[in-house]
A and B are shown apart, each in its own frame.
Chain A
Amino acid sequence: MTASAAPSALGDPPAPTWADALTVPSRRGDRWFGLASRGAGVSVVALVSLVGVFLVSQAIPALAHDQVDFLTSREWSVGGDAPRFGILEMLWTTTTASVIAMAIAVPIGVCVALFLTEYAPTWLRRTAATLVDLLAAVPSIVYGLWGLVVFRPVVRPVEDWLSTHLGWFPLFAPTGITGGTIMFIGVVLAIMILPIVTAISREVFAQTPTPHKEGALALGATKWEMIRTAVLPFGRPGVVSAAMLALGRALGETIAVTFIVSTLAAGSGWTWSLLSGGETFASRIANNAAEFDSPQKTGAFIAAGLVLFILTFVVNAVARVVIERRKAFTE
């Protein structure tokens, strides 16, 4: 359905006013290229809109039968005639794990990018950059397996330390969860999104105009002061957009999370602890996909998927606004 939308969009004659402004009518190549790129743009927008339409149309019938408040309930029993399902717990797990991932990956990623552009010797730059990019090429199932088998025992003592010494703080309250805690998911996600943050930040930092940097140094700035006054402000919109792209990946990551996560029992009490388990939107949908035996049930999961879709959309929209405003300041 979505695929057939693209060619028709491509075939539409461009509206004369802005088409004339953008293309030179006499050059055939220009016109074709303009058409092609416009078609590509329109088809992407159409694709995303259709995904949204699909999610909404599938979710609405299920939501109409929901017996509890969809946004504030922790229950999730979708079978039978009186389904009760809400997304509160998934929303909490998804956002906190992603926030933890961001809190770790963004500072480290920016530091790595600064090191690669400002500090590293030339011979190291290319090699190190390639290695970091390689992290992005590792399939997420491998992160899941590696996380569960190799990385878990490394993080476990840290979590134990937190719960024994800072257990009074609600976020580190001890729980009975031994496997995939929210914090652990966050750490694994951080590793997965690190290459995105690093690669984009590196590209932006590398484009800092040399006169800015030399100017800072000429005014007597140290290297760190030069980075702080010239490189970072210039790269800030790029870093923000890198972070948002990474956040989108973290929110939607499925297989690695499904593999690692420890689901909470349905009747367990609410806890703010990051050392507790939970399910993200994506992991719950993936985990139960084999049991979608009625449209009602499927609809409930699609409704959860819709929330994730909207969440990602909002995050990206906010990022756009931030970038636009920062641009106005720096230029």
Chain B
Amino acid sequence: MMIVAMSGALALSACGTDATTAATTTSGAGASGCPTGTLKAEGSSAQKNAIEAAIKSYQSRCSGATVNYAATGSGAGIKQFIAGQVDFGGSDSALKDDEAKSAEATCGSPAWHLPMVTGPVGIAYNLPSVPSLVLNADVAARIFLGQITMWNDPAIAALNAGVTLPATKISVFFRSDESGTTDNFTKYLKAVAGPSWTVDSGKKWNGTVGEGKPQNAGVATAAKGIEGSISYLEWSYITQNKLGLAKVDNGSGPVELTSTSVGKMVESATQKGTGNDLSLTLDYATTVPGAYPINLVTYEVVCSTYKDPAKAKLVTSFLTHFSSDEVQKSLESLGYAPLPATISAKVKAAIAAVG
């Protein structure tokens, strides 16, 4: 068994360069739907926790299969996928036209985007006297840039009619380490509150006020300790720390962060790719009622037809597991939202079509 797995790993590392050398992998050796071999994948760190959980449950079900995911960032993942160094890539954005062409050349078939993980970011506030708070992108941008400094500022009050806002100073907390959460949140602010969000977006926080803490946990602990704090966090950290979760007004009224509202945002996206290529035009500035806008979809970028059929079987097997309702549902505890039903059905059909 060991030898089979190892020769599989060797064969797979030759992905996309020479199909004839990659014929030694045996399949169907394990339980039904469980091929053996090793998959190499690389890319987005936004889906790191989700894919690691999926890999763990997959490997405990299919003991003969090994999946290695390196969370080096979307750009690196795409680069490695195009170079044929990995079997699939993880990316937060769709391939650009020239990248898609290079990927097609490597695969010998068009590359497909399969939306797999949705990662919402919540705006957390600490005001015990305010059970429900509404913000929009513009006000959030001005708060996080220190232009709005008090909770009873008229701009906040205008969004929260009937709510008594305390005259508490706003303390901004941000991530001091580079993170996908910061990237996602600042991209949203840049896209929707363009004129108010005057600094760069990116993995590193470029704001001008506030204090930085390491990791989600550090931010959550600090925000929890200071009344009047505001921060942006992965969903699960807000609920676990019992911080207030602000509703976001996307232009069509306030939306709470729930699986449904995140699903609605993903569903409202238009499909950019054709057929089974499910690259989406995800719009931070969506105004669909009930769609939570601060959300990121991570794609698994795969070859539609692999040169090595054994590898195709492995990719199909793993992604079928990853996209299953059971696994998607379990990601909620990690702060991700499950794929909405319509997208999920399309993704499953596309995975089945990978050959």
Task: Provide the bound-state CA to CA distance between A184 and B222, in Å.
Answer: 15
Contact with A262, one of B202, B203, B212 (Cβ below 8 angstroms): B212
Q: Mark A172-207, 1 if CB is under 8 A from B, else 0.
A: 000011111000000000000000000000000000
Q: Count chain B residues whose beta carbon lies closer than 8 angstroms to a beta carbon of A.
A: 29
Residues of B within 8 A of A264 (CB): 211-212
What are the interface flags for A280-291 relative to B under an 8 Å C-beta threshold, 1 for contact and 0 otherwise?
A: 000000011011
- The distance in angstroms between the C-alpha atoms of A106 and B344, with both chains bound, is 64
The contact string, 1 if C-beta is below 8 Å from chain B, for chain A 253-281, is 00000110011111110000000010100
Instruction: Pick the most buried of A77, A258, A259, A265: most chain B CB atoms within 10 A of its CB.
Output: A265
Most buried by A among B202, B211, B213, B218: B211
Contacting residues, chain A, for B213 (C-beta < 8 A): 179, 262-263
Residue in contact with A288 in the complex, picked from B171, B177, B207, CB distance below 8 Å: B177
Q: What is the CB-to-nearest-CB distance from A289 to chain B, in angstroms, rounded to a whole number?
A: 9
Q: What's the Cα separation between A179 and B214 when bound, in Å?
A: 13
- Bound state CA distance, A258 and B76, in angstroms? 28
Q: Report the nearest B residue to A268, measured CB to CB.
A: B208
B211 touching A179, Cβ below 8 Å: yes
Given A176-B171, A179-B225, A293-B72, CB of A263 within 8 Å of CB of B176: yes
Q: Which residues of A contact B174 (CB under 8 A)?
A: 263, 265
Whether A79 lies near B207 (C-beta < 8 A) is no
Question: Is A245 engaged at the interface, CB distance under 8 Å to the other chain?
Answer: no
Which secondary structure dominates where chain B touches chain A? loop
When chains A and B are docked, how far (Å) is the Cα of A265 from the Cα of B207?
6
The reply to whether B210 and A291 contact each other, CB–CB distance below 8 Å, is: no
Cross-chain contact of B199 among A178, A267, A279, A293 (Cβ < 8 A): A267
Which partner residue on chain B sits nearest A289 by CB separation?
A: B177
Separation of A291 and B71 alpha carbons in the complex (Å): 10
Q: Does A6 contact B (CB under 8 A)?
A: no
User: What B residues does A152 contact at CB under 8 A?
Assistant: 225
Q: Does B153 contact A (CB under 8 A)?
A: no
| Interface flag for B64 (CB, 8 Å) | no
Is A307 an interface residue, CB under 8 A from the partner? Answer: no
A-B contact count (CB 8 A): 74
Interface: B73 (CB within 8 A): yes
Q: How far is the CA of A297 from the CA of B177 in the complex (A)?
A: 13
A47 CB-CB contact with B under 8 Å? no
**B205 near A: Cβ within 8 Å?**
yes
Is the pair A265, B203 in contact by a Cβ cutoff of 8 Å?
no
With an 8 A cutoff between CB atoms, is B209 at the interface? yes
- For B199, the closest partner residue in chain A by CB is A267
A176 touches B203 (CB 8 A): no
Known contacts A264-B211, A277-B211, A293 near B205 by CB under 8 Å: no
Question: Using Cβ atoms and an 8 Å threshold, which residues of chain B touch A287?
Answer: 176-177, 214
CB distance from B170 to the nearest CB of A (A): 9
Which B residues, 324 to 338, have Cβ-Cβ distances below 8 Å to chain A? none
Interface size on A, residues (CB 8 A): 25
Does A148 count as interface, using CB distance less than 8 angstroms? yes
Task: Fill in one digit per residue for B218-230: 1 if any A CB lies within 8 Å of its CB, else 0.
Answer: 1001100110000
Q: Are A178 and B226 in contact (CB under 8 A)?
A: yes
Question: Which of A180, A262, A288 contacts B178, CB < 8 Å?
Answer: A288
CB closest chain-B residue, reference A294: B76
CA distance A220 to B177 in the complex (A): 63
Distance, CA A290 to CA B215, complexed state (A): 11
Pick the contact of A267: B172, B206, B214, B225 (CB < 8 A). B206
Interface status of B204 (Cβ within 8 A of chain A):
yes
Taking a contact as CB atoms under 8 Å apart, the answer to whether B177 and A293 are in contact is no
Give A48-91 interface residues, CB cut-off 8 Å to B. 77, 79
Shortest Cβ distance from residue A173 to the other chain B in the assembled complex, whole angstroms? 15
Q: Are A265 and B221 in contact (CB under 8 A)?
A: no
B205 A266 Cβ-Cβ under 8 A: yes
Interface centre among B169, B204, B212, B221 (most CB of A within 10 A): B212
A95–chain B nearest beta-carbon distance, Å: 20
CA gap between A79 and B209 in the complex, in Å: 22
Interface string of B225-244 (1 = CB under 8 A from A): 11000000000000000000
> What residues of chain B lie closer than 8 Å to A291, measured between beta carbons?
177-178, 203
| Bound form: Cα–Cα A290–B209 in Å | 24
- In the bound complex, residues from chain B placing their C-beta under 8 Å from that of A267 are 199, 206-208
Q: State in angstroms the CA–CA spacing of A61 and B340 once bound together.
A: 47
Contact with A79, one of B204, B211, B225, B226 (Cβ below 8 angstroms): B204
Report A284-308 CB contacts with B as 1/0, cut-off 8 Å.
0001101101000000000000000
State the Cβ distance, A97 to closest chain B Cβ, in Å. 16
List 30 contacting pairs A-B, 8 Å CB cutoff, sorted by A.
A79-B204, A176-B169, A177-B211, A178-B211, A178-B222, A178-B225, A178-B226, A179-B213, A259-B214, A259-B218, A262-B211, A262-B212, A262-B213, A263-B174, A264-B211, A265-B172, A265-B207, A265-B209, A265-B212, A266-B208, A267-B199, A267-B207, A267-B208, A268-B208, A268-B209, A277-B212, A279-B176, A287-B176, A287-B214, A293-B73
Q: A178-B211, A179-B213, A262-B212 are in contact. List 14 more A-B contacts (CB 8 A).
A: A79-B178, A178-B171, A178-B226, A262-B222, A263-B213, A265-B172, A265-B205, A265-B206, A265-B209, A266-B207, A267-B199, A277-B211, A293-B72, A293-B76
Which 4 A-B pairs give the minimum distances between C-beta atoms? A263-B212, A262-B211, A263-B176, A267-B208
